[in-house]
Amino acid sequence: MSSPHSLDAIFKPSSIAVIGASPRRGTIGHELLDNLIRYGFNGMVFPVNPKHKFIKSIKCHPTVSSIVDPVDLAIIIVPKEHVLGVAEECGERGVKGLVIISAGFREVGGEGVKREKALLALKEKYGFRIVGPNCMGVINAEENVRMNATFAPLEPKSGSMAFMTQSGALGVAILLAVARLDLGLSYFVSVGNKLDIAGNDLLEYWDKDENTKIIALYLESFGEPRRFTQLSKKITKRKPIILVKSGTTAAGARAASSHTGHLAGLEIAVDALLHQCGVIRVSTIQEMMDVVLAFSKNPMPRGGRIGVLTNAGGPAIMATDRLVNEDLALATLSDKTQTKLRSFLPEESSVRNPVDMIASAGADEYGRALDIMLADDAVDAVIAIFVPPIMVEPGEVVKKITEATRKYDKPVFSVVMAEEKFYEEIPRRFKDAPPVYRFPESAVRALAAMDRQRKWVEQPEGQVKTFEPEDPSVRGMVKEAVASGGGYMPPDQVNRILASYGFPVCRLRFLPADGDVLQATADVGYPLVLKVFGRNITHKSDIGGVVTGIKNQDMLARAHTDMQEKLERAGVSREVEGFLVQEMAQEGKEVIFGMTTDPKFGPVLMFGMGGKYVEIIKDIAFRVMPVTDIDAREMVRSIKSYPLLEGVRGDERVDIEFIEESIQRLAQMVSDWPEILELDMNPVMVTPDRSACRVVDARIRISSGEELPGR
Amino acid sequence: MSSPHSLDAIFKPSSIAVIGASPRRGTIGHELLDNLIRYGFNGMVFPVNPKHKFIKSIKCHPTVSSIVDPVDLAIIIVPKEHVLGVAEECGERGVKGLVIISAGFREVGGEGVKREKALLALKEKYGFRIVGPNCMGVINAEENVRMNATFAPLEPKSGSMAFMTQSGALGVAILLAVARLDLGLSYFVSVGNKLDIAGNDLLEYWDKDENTKIIALYLESFGEPRRFTQLSKKITKRKPIILVKSGTTAAGARAASSHTGHLAGLEIAVDALLHQCGVIRVSTIQEMMDVVLAFSKNPMPRGGRIGVLTNAGGPAIMATDRLVNEDLALATLSDKTQTKLRSFLPEESSVRNPVDMIASAGADEYGRALDIMLADDAVDAVIAIFVPPIMVEPGEVVKKITEATRKYDKPVFSVVMAEEKFYEEIPRRFKDAPPVYRFPESAVRALAAMDRQRKWVEQPEGQVKTFEPEDPSVRGMVKEAVASGGGYMPPDQVNRILASYGFPVCRLRFLPADGDVLQATADVGYPLVLKVFGRNITHKSDIGGVVTGIKNQDMLARAHTDMQEKLERAGVSREVEGFLVQEMAQEGKEVIFGMTTDPKFGPVLMFGMGGKYVEIIKDIAFRVMPVTDIDAREMVRSIKSYPLLEGVRGDERVDIEFIEESIQRLAQMVSDWPEILELDMNPVMVTPDRSACRVVDARIRISSGEELPGR
């Protein structure tokens, strides 16, 4: 088994063999070879095909072994049955990288799955790296490489955007859009089945690449979400990552599943993860293009106060609406700015933001007004809207906007509503112009994405607090639970584990079904709560399995008898494993903490308000690991009923810091104990005074060892 | 004062005077005249301008009075100072319609407002109709009229879409987009300041117009929302109305306000109104174009079961995701359909919906597969996605899609991801093709709009139930309250009014602050509730102003003393006007009914869940008048916590029909009594048994007569 090569094997080869090259136009074997040559690959290209002596005037080799010079990279376009043989030969020949265009692997099931496994074995034997199979190729547009190893009918411009796609088809759509907007690429990779090289490898590679300033991803499934989290959290502080993730609904996931042979990740976990990593998620390719255009052409904004400049009311209203919906603010222009604007604008114009110069404004007015607005310290970015009046060609306005923009290091977003011809000419005519959009809403969307990136970069990195468990004996307890087949832990053990991690549990006594409840009160004290216990009994209170406010022995005895009768009537007597006598918590706000384990994403933490209303409305927040102090803070504040915790209508504020700390303690606990598959603390009573907060009920499910995800 | 002409005066003139016509290119006076002539207006055109003898080879008149032939319509392009003089002259001359392009009226404030008022006076004196002022003109594209009285540099195709815009600038953007998509217009009207002709007039006119099949509106403010409601409710059953309404946020409304001189309507009321009227609301011009394209080119779907046909996985996943988010369903293809598809598609393809023919599929496969899918009764519409493989020109595929589509009366939405050139050629090359979109999400958006329209048309018209008040004496009570200056009614009167409309009020005694509460219990009975009363005391229970569960005289006396102390401590003693002794309602679910009056929209009814949680989450629904049985039903079911009313976790279902009826009773009451400005029933206890439902607390605010909106 050889150690694997770096990704340079794929992206910076000195020589490329195109195995399955063809002289016939319209075949992949022809188009790909043609692209390599036309794009000007800076190295040797060897067509390989036993049926031809030369292709496109280049000597053609019958096999890769017959090439005398060293071959770094092989592009494989042969029929699926021949891929393994060719790959083996490449391995023997010392080829360091394979881009396998051929389809017919995991995505078709059956034989394809076997074929893919065999390919993986070859990779491990020879150490070569693989892109694909079932992909549309790779591009490295860097000037001293110039490798277009795709069959897309395009010659991408060299630039700063690296793009990865899990769908070849959408890759073509993106390349077309990139060409239309005249954006420059650094890399393009269609990853296909992701047998070897996948998103995370590319993120790592592009992070180090100086040419790459923007990373754009189209994903259908996450391979290793936890590695994605680690990587993207760091990278997004330096380079924006814009992501389209599809397969979000159940039906979409079914389609994604049949397509890629993968289960789609838990959508909640995906959302939490992307948020925690500062990734800009967009929902469509169109939105992605709007956003990358802005990042490509504009400097970062330094704040969220936006100026709007226009010659027409309607579109300015639209822009303002959208700005506010995106949590951006209309800048308040200084008196000086307003006076300057007033000095040359007609009486009917409005010099307060939005600045409406009315229809008579021409190119010069746009230049002057934009200059004045950008000079105002209260303005972080400007949206300049121009609706061409009759017979005015918008080009002059764009030129003046460009001149004014150049003087300042602030982002400007032009919106020009013109005839089709104008847009077609933008890339060639206005190379240095700020980005031009067709509609106000597209400009605002892009601006909002840049502003999210700004906030993310400015936000301090969160800290993961560590908590030492106080009681080392819990280790034995958990191990034993695993050894005895896992499942729900008994309530007294749950209590001990929680207490060990600093959770304020209730004093508690557990009694077997035939135990004497009256004997159990000494450690607990009155008033107390009597609860039934049974691993299969859910919603205890609905069937009379909870009695609160028990003040003395008599009440306890009566409650116990009553409860047994009710459980009998509810038909769950056989599920009863015992009873709990428990300290009664003070009244407070009910909240829920929880954790569930996703096979791929690992532990997913949950926090929310308790109670029936909120259960139905699902007012809850999720985070994946690791959970920092900032995550905990955001989690609490992101639920809709957060004001209830702050106190409304004269209620006191509960101890919110206690909640934040509890989230972090929970994170510590689940990271210490991968054996914990599921955990619920529901409800936890939180009060203004931390010492009165209590975990009222809790469940912990332990792995049997078999379903343990590899954490 | 003359009675006004019909809108034919504007839209079907025999002769037009262009007052302010000019021979100088690039002026509005030239471009508009040029448009009229080039578009081929079917009637006489008279340029009017004292400075010229002829313009564009047509004899030019110095004034409108000097034209010998009758003049039906005058387009006024003169400077603002001359508009009134010209309009007066037109009135004297018997001109029936004016389109006033000139700006400088209400939108500039001050003198402009006066000028606009004077113009209104002239309109009333002479009876002519006005479009504008401050507009960009009108188009009637009907073949035997052919009037393009705008200055937009375009020649719109004749067709079935009528378009109205409150923003001239966005009007140009729309005309450009319409031209790009090669859609046909019936009418285009830029309404400007809406001095006379506004959206409602146009709706009425277009409803009767046979050529118009689709109505599209860009609105910034509602002139008469109640007339809009009446009109659009009927029209949308015959013709879809697609509306972009901007000015939705507070900041956007400020911008809209400075622009149009109007306050933007209450956003909640706008949303309720549009929903109740079956209007399709879109948020951007782009979305509007996606939607009108579908309505223009497709028949209506007969259901919401969608087939997806593709040659690539990625875009099909995207489409499926969006379909599900839009409440559409993936069609389940019959075994027969699947067998037929399997018969000619390669092994690797998927014949379950989405049907993925993989990349090898060509034009013939698209034609055959689409034909088979459309023939399946379980399929109501198909989205056909084509990502061109190398060297395949998508035109052939579109042709085959068109052929298959023609055989069925079902909507088909193509998504083609191709080079720019392809899209540019669509209008000319594929005249009869189903609509072609660039991205799956645009196609789904358009499909979803058509499906909403289908459901709206299929839904029976709601009935407004009428309820007679039982106690005619309430009339006197309300009148007296108005006469004595309005404000909040005393609680016993509130109770009588509510009871009279059939609401289950609590038995109640009101006592002045110094009254003897113990004397008041006879009519009420134990257990009872003691409440403080004071018009300025809100959130009574937070300051100890409510005691429930009083079982006897002793408890009552104690509660009364305690309450007085607490109110003293809360510093509200001086606000106390008395106490209420009230029947104690059974436990139930707390709900809220409410009504507030918007100056323009009239009464806005509200329903929601009660309690603190829901107050913060704002789980409420609104409707404007009239409120039908269907509205009431939808209102209850649209709140998120509706399942609580249905009963969760073993709770019994409350009497939901009681809630629906209460909404309708409330609607009756507020329509009987325009004097009621505001009403709250909060909380109302609803239980499974209607006889136990109770209005626990209620407030009614009566008009002083002055702020009475004209209902």
Structure confidence by residue, pLDDT tens digits, A128-160 = 999 989 999 999 999 999 999 998 888 899 999
Contacts of B94 (CB under 8 A, 6+ apart): B70, B71
Check residue B48 and report its DSSP letter.
E
List the single residue in B259, B317, B424 with the smallest CB-CB distance to A247.
B317
Q: Which residue of chain A has the CA closest to B544?
A: A650
pLDDT over 90 (residue A123): yes
Write the pLDDT tens digit of every residue in B493-543. Answer: 899 999 999 999 999 888 888 878 777 777 788 889 999 988 778 778 778
Residues B371-385 pLDDT 10s = 999 999 999 999 999
Residues of B in contact with A247 (CB under 8 A): 317, 321
Q: Any long-range contacts for B406-409 (C-beta under 8 Å, 24+ apart)?
A: B406/B432, B407/B371, B407/B374, B408/B374, B408/B375, B409/B299
- Among A151, A221, A390, pick the best mutation site for testing chain B contact (most B Cβ within 10 A): A390
Chain B partners of A176 at a C-beta cutoff of 8 Å?
A: 417-420
The sign of the CA dihedral A471, A477, A482, A485 is negative
Token duo for residue B215? 């109505």
Q: Could you tell me where the DSSP H helices lie in B278-417? A: 285-297, 313-325, 335-344, 363-375, 395-406
Q: Sign (positive/negative) of CA torsion A257, A261, A266, A272? A: negative
- A191 φψ region: left (φ > 0), alpha (ψ -120 to 50), beta (else): alpha
Q: Is B643 exposed, middle or buried (0-12, 13-18, 19+ CB in 10 A)?
A: middle
Q: Do A252 and B152 lie within an 8 Å CB cutoff?
A: no
| Tens digit of each residue's pLDDT (9 = 90 or more) over B40-70 | 999 999 999 999 999 988 999 999 999 999 9
CB A262 within 8 A of CB A268: no
**In chain A, whose CA is at the least distance from the CA of B176?**
A419
User: Quick one: which of B592, B599, B593 has its CA closest to B674?
Assistant: B599
pLDDT at residue A711, as a whole number? 40
Distance between B166 CA and the closest CA of chain A, angstroms? 8
Closest chain A residue to B35, measured at CA = A390
Q: What is the pLDDT of residue B390?
A: 62
- With beta carbons under 8 A apart, name residues in chain A contacting B166: 314
Which range of A553-557, B247-251, B358-362, B443-447 scores highest in mean pLDDT? It is B443-447
Contacts of A616 in chain B (CB under 8 A): 640-641, 643-644, 648
Burial A379-414 (b: 16+ CB within 10 A, else e): bbbbbbbbbbbbebebbebbbbbbbbbeebebbbbb
Dihedral over Cα of B231, B232, B238, B239: its sign: positive
Nearest to A255 among B166, B168, B316 (CB): B316
Q: Are A104 and B348 within 8 A, CB to CB?
A: yes
- The verdict on a CB contact (< 8 Å) between B251 and A323 is yes
DSSP string, B567-609: HHHTT-GGG--EEEEEEPPPP-EEEEEEEEEETTTEEEEEEEE
Buried b / exposed e across B215-235, counting CB within 10 Å, b at 16+?
Answer: bbbbbbbbbebbbbbebbbeb
CA distance A566 to chain B (A): 15
| Contact residues, chain B, for A256 at CB < 8 Å | 313, 317
Rounded to whole angstroms, how far apart are CA atoms A547 and A536?
19
State which residue of chain A sits closest to B256, comparing Cα positions.
Answer: A317
State how far the Cα of B133 lies from the Cα of B88, in Å rounded to an integer: 15
Q: Say what the pLDDT of residue B261 is.
A: 29
Residues of B in contact with A164 (CB under 8 A): none
Encode pLDDT of B72-88 as tens digits: 999 999 999 999 999 99
What rounded mean pLDDT belongs to chain B?
Answer: 88
The residue-averaged pLDDT of B127-131 equals 96
In this predicted structure, the answer to whether residue A254 has a pLDDT above a threshold of 60 is: no
**CA pair distance B10, B138, nearest whole angstrom:** 9
- Under a CB-based contact definition with an 8 Å cutoff, are residues A394 and A427 in contact? no
Q: Which two tokens stand for residue B110?
A: 């001050």
Q: What is the C-alpha to C-alpha distance for residues B402 and B433, in angstroms, rounded to an integer?
A: 5
Q: Return d(Cα A164, Cα A147) in angstroms, integer.
A: 16
Give percent of chain B with pLDDT exceeding 90.
54
CB-based contact A313 B441, cutoff 8 Å: no
Residue in A with minimal Cα distance to B387: A169
Residue B707: band (very low, low, confident or very high) from pLDDT cuts 50, 70, 90: low
Inter-chain CB proximity B617 and A617 less than 8 Å: yes
Q: Which of A173, A247, A391 sits opposite B417 (nearest CB)?
A: A173
What residues in A contact B285, CB-CB < 8 Å? 439
Size of interface A-B (CB pairs under 8 A): 261
Alpha-carbon distance of A504 to A665, in angstroms, equals 12
Task: Quickly list DSSP for B239-254.
Answer: S-EEEEE---SHHHHH
With bands split at pLDDT 50, 70 and 90, how would you rate the model's confidence at A219? confident
Q: Is the pLDDT of residue A4 over 50?
A: yes
Nearest-CA distance A170 → chain B (Å): 6
Which of B28, B260, B350 has the CB atom closest to A390's CB atom?
B28
CB-CB under 8 Å, A439 with B285: yes
- Phi and psi at A572, nearest 5°, equal -115, 10
Contacts with B156 from chain A: Cβ below 8 Å: none
Q: For residues B559, B565, B570 and B576, what is the CA-based torsion angle, rounded to 10 degrees? A: 70
Q: How many CB atoms lie within 10 A of CB A92?
A: 12
Q: Are B31 and B155 in contact (CB under 8 A)?
A: no
pLDDT given at position A604? 86
Using CA coordinates, name the residue in chain A closest to B111. Answer: A348
Alpha-carbon gap: A272 to the closest alpha carbon of chain B (Å): 19
Inter-chain residue contact A256 with B317, CB threshold 8 Å: yes
Residues A709, A601: Cα–Cα separation, whole Å: 10
Chain B residues touching residue A172 (CB < 8 angstroms): 387-388, 417
Query: Hey, are the CB atoms on A348 and B441 less than 8 Å from each other?
Result: no
Residue of A nearest to B612 (CA): A644
Contact B167, B43 (CB under 8 A): no
Would you call A255 and B25 a contact, using CB atoms and an 8 Å cutoff? no
Cα distance from A312 to chain B (closest Cα, Å)?
A: 6
pLDDT at B285: 81
Say if the Cβ atoms of B324 and A252 lie within 8 Å: yes
B462 min Cα distance to partner chain A (Å)? 29
d(CA A291, CA A283): 11
- pLDDT of B484 reads 84
Residue entry with tokens 């319209």: A26
Q: Would the CB atoms of A643 and B441 count as touching at under 8 Å?
A: no
**Is the CB of B284 less than 8 angstroms away from the CB of A439?**
yes
Q: Measure CB to CB from residue A167 to each of B172, B220, B314 and give the nearest one.
A: B314
B contacts of A166 (beta carbons < 8 Å): 314
Which residues of chain B lie closer than 8 angstroms to A424, CB-CB?
Answer: 420
Q: Can you tell me the distance from the alpha carbon of A538 to that of B389, in angstroms, rounded to the nearest whole number?
A: 55
* High-pLDDT (> 70) share of chain A, %: 94
The contacts of residue A287 (CB under 8 Å, 6+ apart) are: A244, A445
What is the Cα–Cα distance from B640 to A613, expressed in whole angstroms?
Answer: 9
> What pLDDT score was predicted for residue B91?
96
- Nearest-Cα distance to chain B for A5, in Å, is 30
Query: What gap in Å lies between CA B415 and CA B405, rounded to an integer?
Result: 14
Taking CA atoms, what residue in B is nearest to A330?
A: B251
Contact A424/B420, CB-based, under 8 Å? yes
In the predicted structure, residue B465 carries a pLDDT above the cut 50: yes
Look at B317 and A220 and tell me if their CB atoms are within 8 Å. Answer: yes
Q: How confident is the model at residue A613 (pLDDT cuts 50, 70, 90)?
A: low
How far apart are alpha carbons A90 and A99 in whole angstroms?
Answer: 12
Residue B487: band (very low, low, confident or very high) from pLDDT cuts 50, 70, 90: confident
Nearest-neighbour CA in chain B from A250: distance (Å): 8
A324: nearest CB among B252, B352, B388: B252
Q: Which residues in A lie closer than 8 A to residue B439 (C-beta atoms)?
A: 173, 284-286
Q: Do B249 and A324 touch (CB under 8 A)?
A: yes
Q: Classify the C-alpha dihedral B115-B116-B121-B125 as positive or negative.
A: positive
Q: How far is CA B1 from the centre of its chain?
A: 35
Joined together, the tokens standing for residue B382 give: 């198909």
Supply the pTM of this predicted model. Answer: 0.80
